[in-house]
Structure 1
């Protein structure tokens, strides 16, 4: 055990000595490995960060929620073009569709009708333009993820009775009320006054740009007195959340039959509605992440290749400078594998130093982005192990030929070498 320790220690010291002998040459050489590891691991870290943002956004929208709408989000399966002309004459989801789904669905945990528009909101002398107005039925709070910071959510009486009540986003509350408590105050929209009963806790925007900070939520029955719910301009849709133990695929299968029955669609006819799911969007993101991943390997691969050649060059120089030492070692009984491992360890240590420098760069940038954006971007243990593994592999591959050459030297010729 002591001999093994001394062996690794000696090889490590030789590697450090190679750094000290020609600092500039070594730094320039190892910069290839540093840049390569930085490129690859930074891409992995970015992908992890984006995937976390996507997952968090999907969780907030509900990964087991089906959106019944007029227009599908993606082209039909097996087609690359979006055939918009097929969907033009479809009818939008209606209140009747919503009520029928609530009555007929066996696996739906929550069903909510939602419409949206944009209007100006006023309170005394303050106004807020382009407020996102959402008219919702009951169960909306069971499907859409948000928290009430102040006040409360709609009561069943307010929702079913179509009362002129409203819940506003945190940014609207800040702009209109300038620090005053908005609960119990009345805001004005389209000439009608609404009682503010709640303020949504500030969310910020997710990766899809969704946020309730700039929204006002009102009961859909009250919204029907302000908007034409049969118009496509208010983007009506029905949100259906599956019960525990059922997937969105199960929900789609059931809703397909329910909606076809509600609209009395003939067996041979196509659906006149779209059942959208967040997983459809996630597939597109998965393809994007795969492309970014490949690009990171491609860009970083060239830098690592250059760094590998640089390390091989350093090792050839190191073998030449220590030819007599190698000859003495072999004359004293050192075996070929001893000499081979000695130089392989040296090349691996050099490569690891370059790789660790690249990892430190990624770590520093990740911390900086986290501080600037407020979103957590972390260099994971898996990515650290990937960086160390790639560096080790490059060190072994780059140093093998010089090490093999050193192990095959004739001791007499090596001792007599100039």
Structure 2
């Protein structure tokens, strides 16, 4: 009860001081507002940029190990030509992994390959620069296949290499305007395909990464008929084998070890021979992205902290002036029995209160910016950044107000009452 009364009294003193010197208070708060705005806006932009980059990279999937000819990243001094003569993953290797991998270590194995720059035609309508991707049945397990209409392939359609397709939203809109694409037919690479599904529209991505909007999925067997890669490569098309891990295998260490051992056995590598394949994981890209944006965030925070420092000095200045102006009142309060901690808390609360007002204004300005519609990179203000902004405001208020508050608390009541 005593603490609540103390807080209420301090709030009333702070509010009276703010109203009594409104213009001076507002000008002093501008420094805190600009400082918090600078820091939180940088973090909001960095978080939004990172989220959009990660969303743009979502096509690589999560908890997946990819068997490729090339690694996704090269170590320092590693010659790129070292990987040039490696064999590409084959359907035979895919089947062997399907049979040999422990069911408890994975959720599914898929093989897939794609080409870009294809032209699709349906009657008088056509669309260029389309991607054509051949997939095995478990592709929906390895990678997300969000359907807006229709259905996914059946195992029979994939195994018998039927000419059915799941098309992206842009393809559906261009080839079949003002009507449903389901059940319609189109031509690609001299073959006629029947549409059984339409993918959800993704829209424009921040990075120029593969988009489902202009992508067409077909059974892998049909894809090999077109590009003749069933035996392991043809027409410049390189298949990829993806293995989806399980939640019970943190870091996918067990799955990676098992896939590596099986691939070495399948390819007949001797114990002293190096792997002639690469096991790539999305974590490689995620870690690189996290490291990059951590550096950007720290740099932005350092720059914003200078503006925050100026705001802190402004609050400290106004608190020194406030102590000077209210010295006589402090003396009267002490003569009436007010304890030192009451005076200390009163001025410290006022400094924190002022900083919270300035910080809240800065956060509100950031919120207004994030409310502006953005197509390329939508901005958002997270609860963590709001909490960070308010916490920084409180800390700056305490640092700026502690010295004036201590000076006020230690004033001699007799000398303070006589002050003019």
Compute the TM-score of the two structures, normalised by the length of structure 1.
Answer: 0.89
1:325 and 1:181, CA in 2 relative to 1: closer, same or farther beyond 3 A?
A: closer
CA distance, structure 2, for counterparts of residue 171 and residue 82 of structure 1: 40
On the 8 A contact 1:68/1:273 being kept in 2, the answer is: yes
Paired position in structure 2 for 1:283: 287
1:374 and 1:206, CA in 2 relative to 1: closer, same or farther beyond 3 A?
A: closer
- From 227, 234, 237, the equivalent of 2:237 is 234
Q: Does 1:267 align with 2:271?
A: yes
Paired position in structure 1 for 2:409: 407
Aligned residues, how many?
Answer: 412
1:352 and 1:268, CA in 2 relative to 1: closer, same or farther beyond 3 A?
A: same
State the SS of the aligned residue for 1:224: helix
State the SS of the aligned residue for 2:236: helix
On the 8 A contact 1:74/1:82 being kept in 2, the answer is: no
1:64 and 1:5, CA in 2 relative to 1: closer, same or farther beyond 3 A?
A: closer
Paired position in structure 1 for 2:398: 396
Q: Does 1:225 align with 2:221?
A: no
Paired position in structure 1 for 2:182: 183
State the SS of the aligned residue for 1:359: helix
Shift of 1:215: 0.8
Paired position in structure 2 for 1:312: 316
Shift of 1:206: 6.0
Paired position in structure 2 for 1:377: 380
State the SS of the aligned residue for 1:259: helix
Which whole-Å deviations, capped at 9, do the CAs of 1:242-261 have from their partners, x for residues lacking one? 34533532221111111111
Which whole-Å deviations, capped at 9, do the CAs of 1:101-121 have from their partners, x for residues lacking one? 112222333111111102111
On the 8 A contact 2:137/2:158 being kept in 1, the answer is: yes
Backbone CA RMSD of aligned residues: 2.6
State the SS of the aligned residue for 1:234: coil
Q: Does 1:115 align with 2:113?
A: yes
Shift of 1:287: 0.8
On the 8 A contact 1:367/1:378 being kept in 2, the answer is: no
- From 384, 387, 390, the equivalent of 2:389 is 387
Is 37-46 or 155-164 further displaced after alignment?
A: 37-46
On the 8 A contact 2:316/2:404 being kept in 1, the answer is: yes
Which whole-Å deviations, capped at 9, do the CAs of 1:320-378 have from their partners, x for residues lacking one? 11122122222333332222222111111111111111222233233335x76796834
1:232 and 1:191, CA in 2 relative to 1: closer, same or farther beyond 3 A?
A: closer
- From 73, 90, 114, the equivalent of 2:86 is 90
CA distance, structure 1, for counterparts of residue 184 and residue 339 of structure 2: 89
Shift of 1:28: 2.6
Paired position in structure 2 for 1:197: 196
Paired position in structure 1 for 2:356: 352
On the 8 A contact 1:61/1:145 being kept in 2, the answer is: no
Q: Does 1:246 align with 2:249?
A: yes
State the SS of the aligned residue for 2:112: strand
CA distance, structure 1, for counterparts of residue 340 and residue 357 of structure 2: 26
On the 8 A contact 1:36/1:299 being kept in 2, the answer is: no
Unpaired runs of at least 5, structure 2: none
Unpaired runs of at least 5, structure 1: none
On the 8 A contact 1:70/1:272 being kept in 2, the answer is: yes
- Within 5 Å, which residues of 2 pair with 1:13-32? 13-32=12-31
- From 78, 99, 106, the equivalent of 1:103 is 99
On the 8 A contact 1:92/1:232 being kept in 2, the answer is: no
Which whole-Å deviations, capped at 9, do the CAs of 1:394-417 have from their partners, x for residues lacking one? 111111111112222222322222
CA distance, structure 2, for counterparts of residue 164 and residue 385 of structure 1: 54
Paired position in structure 1 for 2:141: 142
CA distance, structure 1, for counterparts of residue 79 and residue 34 of structure 2: 45
